[in-house]
Structure 1
Amino acid sequence: MNLALKEAGVKPRLAAKRQLFSLSGVHFINDLMTTGLVPALLPLYKQAFDLNYTQAGLILFVSMLTSSVAQPVFGVLSDKYPNAWFMPMGICLCGFGLTASGFAPVYWLLLLCVAVSGIGSGIFHPEAMRGAYMAAGTARGTAQAIIQVGGNFGQAAGPLVLPLFLIATGLHGLGWFAIAALAGLLLVFLVMPWYQRSLEMNKKRQKLIQGRNHVTGLILLTLVVILRSWTQIGVAGFLPFLYLHQGFSLKDGELLTFLFLAAGAVGTFIGGRVSDQISRKWLLFISMAVTIPFAWLLPHVHGVLSIIVLFFFGFFVLSSFAVTVVYGQMMFPKNIGLVSGLMVGFGIGAGGIGATLIGWLSDQYGIYTIFGLFGILPMLAAVLTLFLPSERSLTAKEA
């Protein structure tokens, strides 16, 4: 919803609610099989292949490189050749790679399987984000919140699946996720007729957009997303190791990681809804600034207080997730796939690559040292947010 509609008091409305929720369901399945399960599986992969922390971080690095960092490339292709068939292709590769990783006999084949799964996710995302854009109507923040909350809950469900299922079955239990991939395919095929019709209408709309892209703004916004994702993915990946160090069981550690990620999903939804009513720039700044004290407190609290801190940490760090996608689309209104690849893919993946550095720091200085780093990253992100262009200056481009 643009600034003019906000000032006119027009209530945000979705254009295609049913299709949007279907896309959110597919996003849940996709992210469950990549960014949800891969970080959660690190302790099992580490034990099965006798890995050190650096090697475990490399698994996450490969997943993020293929699923996220490469997304802008798929986004550019999606902008030039938009095609609904990218979504089922992505889900198939994603499911195959994950299930095969449970049967990999050696470490390098494990990395290859993780890479195939990641490529599938990278293909899926830009086209799915275009679907959210076309289904949004005047409620763009809400539309992104709905589709992104599906992905966020997929990430959150990964750590939950581990204690409920995979700890008992071992890595071979990943074979059952072929059923999840089939469910994702079914949802995609239900959406495709609407999607193909909407693509033709969207092509005409894109031709009416005027104005130049705001390159500097998008670069700064991408840096903010990288810092935010380095914080979120680093905590999600290494929180079980912190709690193991404090004497918790792996099951308890994964359940607490689920709490952190589920709180982020709630924050994503609420933040997206609120962004249709207030400035996206200042909502982004507030979310980063409020995250800082909870990040500093996390490794120093215990008991019920640690649960409270963990929840609010997850809530605020991801409350700007949908906001940054819409904000980026406003800066590059003719390049929805590219922006989605940057905001949902490259920004997150580049932050996730930091997991390799985090693993190395953990080997060298201990797990508590790297958790101190997570208090600095959102502080830097909050400062960068102050230099982003105002929403008012971007509205004319989408008129």
Structure 2
Amino acid sequence: MRINRMGVLAAGHASVDFYQGVVPAMVPFLVAERHYGYVAASGIVLAATLLSSVVQPLFGAIADRWRLGWLIPVSMLVTGLGVGLAGPAGSYPLTWLAIALSGLGVAAYHPESARLARAASQGSHVGMSWFSLGGNLGFAVAPLMVTPLLAWGGLAVSPLLAVPAVLGCLVTVVAMRSVGRGGGAGRTREGARDDWAAFVRLALVMGLRSVGYIGLSTFVALYVGGGAAGAVALFVQFAGGAAGTILGGRLATRYGRVRTLRLAYAAAVPAVAGVVLVPGPAVFLFVAAAGVALYVPFSLHVTLGQDYLPRHAGTASGVTLGLAVSVGGVASPLIGALAEATSLRLALATLIVMPLLAWFLSRPLKEPAIVLP
């Protein structure tokens, strides 16, 4: 039952993070049909991404005060509804508000769903890695589904994009009932104490990881020459990330989360360096290795954050799944500006420092006790 529940929750997670990949895929069609400029198009993406990431800790704080299980299915439907309305909205302000509504749905979903997944997995690192993988896959497949649909029917058919949210909501409700009947075994947060110093350090580690991974994914396609080579580079990075997510859960079960986290960041340093310094086809091997190493800690960050703040698990989930991840997106324009002022190779070379600093900051972290929400 534990495996079945986590599989269903992972599918629900995929259906929500699918919409984070939908918005960038919609941008070319918004530009073509409505003649949006670069600023207007970037404003649409900002409405979905940065707003969602910043608001997630707020929803996490709310979830710490009240158990809001109903918010999970409602937020899933809101996420799909926002994207579904973006096509018929017509005007730019209404389109922006529709996309912002979808982003708020994403923000409302993650803190409570992360707590639910932790309870359903009964503290299993492998289970949480599958939950995280669901979100990664949902994001990755979005362009493959959205682009053919909008190429066929244009923005007028965007209401069809709400279907994954409805399906994901239905299966998640089934899993929630299963968890309610028997998923909460284990030590609880009653009497536990928060370690804010360790959590802040972990958040800084996550921010550095985000800058390294998102910076690499933003520019690696251009670095290898674009076209088919660029597509292959992105594919192997994302595939490596998927493999790293599952590998992280298994390694943490055997060696512990903090030790696995440190080893991953240590391995990421030569992997990212290889991307920048190794010429020829071998660069794709290093891109894959960087994807694996930088995603091994991803689900571990979430559970470590929850265990460092057992009395504020919702806040921890909101920061680890939202705010800390958005740092990479904010830093990407700075990397782009450096590339324009110098060279893309030099700009990417700065990313080598990110996992090195993450490893250094993670050294004082201690393995916390597992405290189920």
Please state which band the TM-score falls in when normalised by the shorter chain: 0.7 to 0.9
Query: Unpaired runs of 5+ in structure 2?
Result: none
Mean Cα deviation higher: 350-359 or 90-99: 350-359
1:290 counterpart residue number: 267
Match of 2:3 in 1: 17
RMSD across aligned C-alpha pairs, in angstroms?
3.2
Compared with structure 1, are the counterparts of its residues 134 and 380 closer, same or farther at alpha carbon in structure 2 (3 Å cutoff)? same
Q: Among residues 237, 254, 263, which one is paired with 1:260 in the alignment? A: 237
- Which moved further from structure 2: 293-302 or 340-349? 293-302
Q: Give the Cα–Cα distance (whole angstroms) in 2 for the partners of residues 58 and 84 of structure 1.
A: 32
2:142 is aligned to 158
CA distance in 2, matches of 1:142, 1:284: 14
Question: Residue 156 of structure 1 contacts residue 257 of structure 1 at CA under 8 Å; is this kept in 2?
Answer: no
Q: 1:85 aligns with which of 70, 83, 89?
A: 70
1:248 to 209, 215, 227: 227
- 2:266 and 2:187 map into 1 onto residues whose CA distance is 40
Which residue of 2 is the match for residue 11 of structure 1? Answer: none
> Once structures 1 and 2 are overlaid, which stretch shifts more, 231-240 or 342-351?
231-240
With over 3 angstroms needed to count, the CA separation of the structure-2 counterparts of 1:51 and 1:290, relative to structure 1, is farther
Question: Structure 2 matches for 1:40-55, cutoff 5 A?
Answer: 49=35, 51-52=37-38
Question: Which one-letter code corresponds to 1:186 in the other structure?
Answer: L
Bigger mean CA offset, 155-164 vs 274-283: 155-164
Deviations 1:292-336 (A, max 9, x none): 233233356676423322221111111111111121222112222
Alpha-carbon distance between aligned partners in 2 of 1:115 and 1:132, rounded to the nearest angstrom: 26
Rounded Cα–Cα distance in structure 2 between residues aligned with 1:144 and 1:179: 25
Residue from 214, 222, 228 that aligns with 1:233:
214
1:382 aligns to what? 359
Q: Among residues 161, 180, 188, which one is paired with 1:205 in the alignment?
A: 188
Question: How far apart, CA to CA, are the structure 2 residues paired with 1:108 and 1:241?
Answer: 33
Letter in 2 for 1:289: A
Alpha-carbon separation, structure 2, partners of 1:303 and 1:381: 28
Q: What's 2:197 paired with? A: 216
CA–CA separation in structure 1 for the residues paired with 2:279 and 2:149: 27
- Given the superposition, is the C-alpha separation of residues 275 and 161 from structure 1 closer, same or farther in structure 2, using an over 3 Å criterion? same
| Alignment-mate amino acid for residue 378 of structure 1 | P
Cα shift at 1:82: 1.4
Q: Deviations over 1:93-147 (max 9, x none)?
A: 211222334456455554433322111011111111111111122x521121111
Between the aligned partners of 1:368 and 1:166, the Cα distance in structure 2 is 35
- Cα 1:38–1:372 change in 2 (3 A) is farther
Per the TM alignment, residue 62 of structure 1 is displaced from its structure 2 partner at its CA by 3.3
Does the Cα contact within 8 Å between 2:189 and 2:371 map onto a contact in 1?
no
Contact preservation (8 Å) 1:299, 1:368: yes
The Cα shift of 1:183 comes to 1.1
- Equivalent residues of 1:153, 1:262 under 8 A apart: no
Which residues of structure 1 form unaligned runs of 5+? 1-14
Partner of 2:325: 348
Asked if residue 70 in structure 1 is aligned to residue 55 in structure 2, the reply is yes
Deviations 1:251-275 (A, max 9, x none): x645642432232121111101221
- Distance in 2, matches of 1:116 and 1:195, equals 28
| Residues 319 and 170 of structure 1, relative CA distance in 2, 3 Å threshold | farther
Cα deviation, residue 166, structure 1: 5.2
Number of the residue aligned with 2:108: 123
8 Å CA contact retained: 1:153, 1:261? no
Alpha carbons 2:307, 2:370 under 8 Å: kept: no
Which runs of structure 1 show a deviation greater than 6 angstroms over 4 or more consecutive aligned residues?
none
In the other structure, the counterpart of 1:114 is 99
Contact 1:69–1:347, Cα closer than 8 Å, also in 2? no
